[in-house]
Amino acid sequence: MKNVIEIKHPLIQSHLAVLRDKNTPCDQFRAVIRRVSRLLTYEATVDLATRPIEVDTPICRTTGCALKQRIGLVPILRAGLGMVDSVLNLVPQAEVWHLGFYRDEETFKPVEYYKKFPEGDPVDVALVLDPMLATGGSALAALKAVYDWSVPIVKLISVIAAPEGIERVLSHYPNTRIYVGAIDEGLNENAYIVPGLGDAGDRIFNATA
């Protein structure tokens, strides 16, 4: 599927087995989310633009490179927060802007409760972070906010995704690249990913209802 990059790296796949296990404790789940996020980010940033710079090594002067574009991280609250630190470890100069949604359990639609973007002056590349791409409702709302901010390059990074969510996102924003560790079978009657890993936000923050 065009613009969908499912990263079938052995390290990601082994970490996914830990995340799927319902007996994985919260602290380990949180740590593994960070590891997978780091690996996904490595792939999602392979085409970032660079500029040449001069540096002095202990031996001599040489030419290196630095990132040329402004990078913005847009975690979808709350689960996306579990991915931020790992991405910042790789892109420490990135800006972080937040979007908050909760799911209406009757309609399964996202309800926005928080948005923090600066007026004008959009970043060059936005990485939208959400461990789960299920129905695609929250992702669509987040992508709309980012594109309305006039960001030219937008990528969505998720740990797992359902085909329904992917199709819905690409039907509205076909130029958005989606980086995902696994594409699962689909959604159940409660709009949860199957086999999935449960509610990522609850498991990251040890806040199971």
The residues carrying an active-site annotation are 103, 107, 199, 202
Q: Where are the alpha helices (DSSP H) in 72-175?
A: 81-90, 137-148, 163-172
Q: Alpha carbon of 29 to those of 48, 68, 159: distances in Å?
A: 29, 34, 12
First to last CA, the chain: 36
149 touches 122 (CB < 8 A): yes
94 touches 122 (CB < 8 A): no
